[in-house]
Chain A
Amino acid sequence: MPQATPVVEGLFTDTANGPRLTGSRCAGCDMPYLPVSALCHNPDCDAPDLQPAEFGPWGVIWSLARQDYPPPAPVKFDEPYQAYAMAVVDLDDGLRVLGRVATDDPESVDVGQRVELIIDTLAHDEDGKELSTWKFRVVEQGAGA
């Protein structure tokens, strides 16, 4: 992959084992956080500290949406606009996270499909520089809701 700039720093990384989201997890109640959180916000937990944590790559599509019209700023996309799919994914490690779905066929994406976290091009900025973000790639058809 060519050198790309993360659209926002600190949310994902490419490890030796592949892409991961980078957040925190509570040492007390195991609650996952993305982005990194300094404190646990679970009202039933009074653990003092959070540990750095990586999330992914496997999960299941809880639901999804299709962006059928070009969205306004600050959403980023390249011209000419192409409708994209985004999913709400329940990662196997307990994080429910949003992400675009990397596909040329948004209509093929569905609830219950198994997905893998990837790092992919989001768009290019005014200077032509590539901006990257995390996305999901469908790896297996699912069984619905």
Chain B
Amino acid sequence: MRDVAVIGLGMHPWGKFKDKSVGDLCRVAVDQALADAGVAWREIEGVAAASSRFSGGRGWGLNGNDVVDDLGNTGVPVYNLSAGCAAGGNAFNVGWSMVASGIHDVMLVVGGEKMPKGFIQTSGVEEVTDPEYLRQVCVGMPGPAFWGAMCRRRMAKHGTTEEQLARIAVKAHANSVHNKWARFRKEFTLEQVLGSAMVSYPLRLFEICPVSDGAAAVVICSADIARANSRRPVWVAGSAVATARFDDGIPRGLAGPVPAHGEAYHSEAALAVEKAMAMAGVNPPEVDFMELQDNTVFYELSFPEEWGFCKPGEAEGLMEAGETTPTGSMPINPSGGFQSFGEATTAQGIWQVCELVTQLRGDGGGRQVPGAGVGLAQALGLGGNGSAVVMRSEL
């Protein structure tokens, strides 16, 4: 396997853009990524793209083909990757795999999305053979209620308070003020978060990510090319995808077995993170910061524990002590996270890579993690898809 570097990043800011197409958003991100890398479109040897259910792709998830048509058809191979909200992370893993294995030397990884209004509903398949459809029709548990149930379990087990949950949102938005790509670049007070509408107790509106439009792209290449041509390469130390374990205990459909091995949650995320960290040869203390998928504030508590960054029940205390801020001992989501961006689902995994590169280059400005040398990013999506990447500033 060859070492792989990210040599260029680009993003269209997250937000709602009714007068722009998903193609417009992707073009901004791709043009920036190519310019940042100093690579011409003709030099791209392969495109790994996140397939969207919501926008572009001609109904077949052909979002990479849309980008190629827009930039100009060079005959470049396109790999369209579908993995729900983890699609961006999976596309990055496929791009990395192809460069690492020597199939291509220079690749573009891209994801863009324009989301419909409201919280994301079901899988879109209205048939009784679809477990998500059954869950909604027979019980009625939209995404926020699913997160609410996970959070209630934590409250019962660890005594998590509503105020602690709100403080996580306050922290996220304090970071977002320093991120020009974020949609909500505004500080919120504890009172404002606690005063926002209850969506699914104990989760309030400002503690759950809304949906957004956005696009992100990176140019990746082999180490030889990076060293010869790039001023500012950032290195991929580990990249992995995984799917959920059979009996991890999350109520994904209507029912499953009571897990035999105690409490377990998103096994797809934990597996991907474990694999990426093992590949990188790092343990939690060596990871300087992480970008995790905070669809809701709850995940800033549960994920670090599931991944071994702290012991079960410790996350609240670390957060309250400020350890999860960019200058703390366990910085989480210096970007501002999904709470500040909103979710442009299939672009998220690539946006996270952009944040890792920004931090590892030392370009984080007011949200910079001091001395950041190793960063971790994680995404997950429908179907039990998980992805993770570990990056280093130096090989």
Contacts and interface: CB of A to CB of B under 8 A. Distances in A.
A65 B141 CA distance: 8
A34 B135 CA distance: 11
B140 interface: yes
Interface residues of A, number: 49
Contact of A77 (B140, B142, B246, B247): B140
Given A32-B255, A64-B149, A7 B156 contact: no
B150 A8 contact: no
Given A65-B149, A71-B142, A110-B156, A8 B137 contact: yes
Contacts, number: 129
Contacts of B247: 42
B200 A67 contact: yes
Nearest to B131: A35
Contacts of A42: 246-247
A33 B257 CA distance: 8
Q: Which of B121, B138, B251, B256 is the most central at the interface, judged by chain A CB atoms within 10 Å of its CB?
A: B138
A67 B142 contact: yes
A12 to B, nearest CB: 9
A39 interface: no
Tell me which of A23, A74, A75, A98 has the highest count of chain B C-beta atoms within 10 A of its own C-beta.
Answer: A98
A96 interface: yes
A139 to B, nearest CB: 19
B126 A95 contact: no
A68 B137 contact: no
A81 B72 CA distance: 52
Interface residues of B, number: 41
Contact of A134 (B122, B138, B145): B138
Interface string B97-122: 00000000000000000000011011
Given A68-B200, A86-B139, A74 B122 contact: yes
A136 to B, nearest CB: 10
Given A42-B246, A111-B152, A96 B251 contact: yes
A4 interface: no
A100 B138 CA distance: 9
A63 B156 contact: yes
A141 B22 CA distance: 52
Interface in B237-259: 246-247, 249, 251, 254-259
B138 A31 contact: no
Interface string B143-157: 001101110110111
B138 A8 contact: yes
Interface in A70-109: 71-77, 84, 86-88, 90-91, 94-100
17 contacts: A7-B138, A33-B255, A41-B246, A43-B246, A65-B141, A65-B152, A66-B200, A69-B200, A71-B136, A71-B140, A75-B142, A86-B140, A86-B149, A90-B258, A99-B139, A112-B156, A133-B138
Given A21-B255, A110-B156, A144-B156, 17 more contacts: A11-B134, A23-B255, A65-B148, A67-B140, A67-B145, A67-B200, A69-B197, A75-B137, A75-B142, A76-B140, A86-B145, A87-B149, A88-B251, A91-B258, A94-B258, A111-B155, A133-B138
Instruction: List the 4 closest pairs (A to B, CB-CB), nearest first.
Output: A111-B156, A65-B148, A63-B153, A145-B156
Interface of B: 118-119, 121-122, 126, 128, 133-142, 145-146, 148-150, 152-153, 155-157, 197-201, 246-247, 249, 251, 254-259
